A and B are shown apart, each in its own frame.
Chain A
Amino acid sequence: MVMNKSRNVFKSLVLAAVMGLTGGLTGLAQAKVVGLEAELQKWSFAGVFGTYDVNQLQRGFQIFQQSCASCHSANLMSFRNLSEEGGPQFSEDQVKALAAEYTIYDPELEDGERQAVPADRWPAPFQTELDARAANSGALPPDFSVLAKARGISQKFPYWAFNYFTGYQEGGPDYIYNLLVNYGEPPADVELPDGQAWNNYLGRGLAMAPPLGDGFISYDGEGVPETLEQYAADVAAFMMWMAEPHLVSRKEMGFRVLTFLFLLAGMMYLVKRKIWANVKH
Chain B
Amino acid sequence: MSGNSSYNPTGAVEKWFDERLPIIRFSKEHLMDFPTPKNINYWWTFGAVLAFILVVQIITGIVLAMHYVPNSELAFDSVEAIRRDVNYGRIIQATHAVGASMFFAAVYIHIFRGLYYGSYKAPREILWILGVLIFVLMMATAFMGYVLPWGQMSFWAATVITNIFAAIPIIGDPILALLRGGFAVDNATLNRFFSLHYLLPFILAAVVGLHIWALHVPGNNNPVGVEVKSSHDTLPFHPYFTMKDLFVIVVFLIPFSWFVFFAPDILGHPDNYIPADPLLTPPHIVPEWYFLPFYAILRAIDFDMLFISSKLGGVIFFGGSIIVLFFVPWLDGSKVRSGNFRPLFRPFYWLFVLNFLMLTYLGAQVAEGIYVLLSKVGTAYYFAYFLIILPIVSRIETPAPLPASISESVLGKAEASGEKG
A interface residues (Cβ-Cβ under 8 A, vs B): 8-9, 11-13, 15-20, 22-31, 48, 75-76, 142, 145-147, 149-152, 163-164, 167-169, 171-172, 243, 245-246, 250-251, 253-255, 257-258, 261-262, 264-265, 268-269, 271-272, 275-276, 279-281
A262 and B254 in contact, given A19-B109, A281-B39 (Cβ under 8 angstroms): yes
Contacts of A15 in B (CB 8 A): 109
Q: Is residue B266 within 8 Å, beta carbon to beta carbon, of the partner chain?
A: yes
Closest chain B CB from A244 CB (angstroms): 9
Q: Ordered nearest first, which 3 A-B pairs have the shortest CB separation?
A: A254-B261, A150-B273, A31-B283
Q: Is the CB of A251 within 8 A of B105?
A: no
Q: Is the CB of A261 within 8 A of B289?
A: no
Q: Is the CB of B105 within 8 A of A23?
A: yes
A171 and B286 in contact, given A8-B41, A258-B254 (Cβ under 8 angstroms): no
A280 and B411 in contact, given A8-B42, A12-B248 (Cβ under 8 angstroms): yes
Query: Can you spell out 13 A-B residue pairs with CB atoms less than 8 angstroms apart?
Result: A22-B289, A24-B289, A25-B363, A26-B364, A29-B364, A76-B80, A145-B80, A150-B274, A250-B261, A253-B261, A258-B258, A262-B254, A271-B243
Q: Is the CB of A272 within 8 A of B247?
A: yes
Bound form: Cα–Cα A269–B248 in Å: 9
Closest chain A CB from B374 CB (angstroms): 14
Bound form: Cα–Cα A1–B84 in Å: 50
> Please, which residue of chain B has its CB at the minimum distance from the CB of A160?
B266
Q: Is residue B386 within 8 Å, beta carbon to beta carbon, of the partner chain?
A: no
B363-387 to A contact mask, C-beta < 8 Å, 1/0:
1111000000000000000000000
Contacts of A20 in B (CB 8 A): 105, 255, 259
Of the candidates B91, B108, B272, B361, the one whose C-beta lies within 8 Å of that of A25 is: B361
Bound form: Cα–Cα A151–B252 in Å: 30
Q: Is the CB of B273 within 8 A of A243?
A: yes
Contacts of A258 in B (CB 8 A): 254, 257-258, 261
> Please, which residue of chain A has its CB at the minimum distance from the CB of B260?
A254
A22 and B361 in contact, given A27-B270, A258-B261 (Cβ under 8 angstroms): yes
> Please, which residue of chain B has its CB at the minimum distance from the CB of A10?
B42
Bound form: Cα–Cα A168–B272 in Å: 18
Of the candidates B80, B239, B257, the one whose C-beta lies within 8 Å of that of A261 is: B257
Q: Is the CB of B253 within 8 A of A261?
A: yes
Q: Is the CB of B77 within 8 A of A164?
A: no
Contacts of A8 in B (CB 8 A): 41-42
Q: Is the CB of A27 within 8 A of B266?
A: yes
Interfacial residues of chain B within 350-402, with CB under 8 A of chain A in the complex: 357, 360-361, 363-366
- Interface centre among A11, A17, A268, A281, by most chain B C-beta atoms within 10 angstroms, is A281
Bound form: Cα–Cα A146–B289 in Å: 23
Of the candidates A253, A261, A264, the one whose C-beta lies within 8 Å of that of B91 is: A253
Contacts of B41 in A (CB 8 A): 8
Interfacial residues of chain B within 287-303, with CB under 8 A of chain A in the complex: 287-290, 292
Chain B interface residue count, Cβ-Cβ cutoff 8 angstroms: 65
Q: Is the CB of A25 within 8 A of B364?
A: yes
Q: Is the CB of A26 within 8 A of B257?
A: no
Contacts of B324 in A (CB 8 A): none
Contacts of B105 in A (CB 8 A): 16, 19-20, 23
Closest chain A CB from B369 CB (angstroms): 13
- Total inter-chain residue pairs, C-beta < 8 Å: 164
Chain A interface SS verdict (over half) = helix
Contacts of A271 in B (CB 8 A): 243, 247
Contacts of B196 in A (CB 8 A): none
Contacts of B109 in A (CB 8 A): 15-16, 19
> Please, which residue of chain A has its CB at the minimum distance from the CB of B252?
A16
Bound form: Cα–Cα A272–B255 in Å: 21
A268 and B246 in contact, given A12-B43, A15-B109, A22-B357 (Cβ under 8 angstroms): yes
Contacts of A253 in B (CB 8 A): 91, 261
Q: Is the CB of B366 within 8 A of A268?
A: no
Q: Is the CB of B273 within 8 A of A146?
A: yes
Q: Is residue B337 within 8 Å, beta carbon to beta carbon, of the partner chain?
A: no
Contacts of A30 in B (CB 8 A): 270, 284
Bound form: Cα–Cα A127–B366 in Å: 39
Q: Is residue B267 within 8 Å, beta carbon to beta carbon, of the partner chain?
A: yes
Bound form: Cα–Cα A171–B360 in Å: 23
Q: Is the CB of A12 within 8 A of B42?
A: yes
Bound form: Cα–Cα A255–B262 in Å: 9
Q: Is the CB of A149 within 8 A of B263?
A: no
Q: Is the CB of B240 within 8 A of A76?
A: no
Q: Is the CB of A279 within 8 A of B261?
A: no
Closest chain B CB from A11 CB (angstroms): 8
Closest chain B CB from A180 CB (angstroms): 18
Q: Is residue B244 within 8 Å, beta carbon to beta carbon, of the partner chain?
A: yes
Q: Is the CB of B101 within 8 A of A23?
A: yes
Of the candidates B39, B247, B267, B289, the one whose C-beta lies within 8 Å of that of A268 is: B247
Q: Is the CB of A25 within 8 A of B244?
A: no
Bound form: Cα–Cα A18–B112 in Å: 14
Closest chain B CB from A8 CB (angstroms): 5
Closest chain A CB from B80 CB (angstroms): 6
Interfacial residues of chain B within 64-116, with CB under 8 A of chain A in the complex: 77, 80-81, 83-84, 90-91, 101, 105, 108-109
A152 and B270 in contact, given A8-B42, A251-B262 (Cβ under 8 angstroms): yes
- Interface centre among B235, B258, B262, B360, by most chain A C-beta atoms within 10 angstroms, is B262
Bound form: Cα–Cα A250–B265 in Å: 13
Contacts of B55 in A (CB 8 A): none
Q: Is residue B124 within 8 Å, beta carbon to beta carbon, of the partner chain?
A: no
Contacts of B254 in A (CB 8 A): 258, 261-262, 265
A265 and B43 in contact, given A172-B270, A254-B262 (Cβ under 8 angstroms): no
Q: Is the CB of A27 within 8 A of B269?
A: yes
Closest chain A CB from B220 CB (angstroms): 13
B31-74 to A contact mask, C-beta < 8 Å, 1/0:
00000001101110000000000000000000000000000000
Q: Is the CB of A149 within 8 A of B261?
A: no
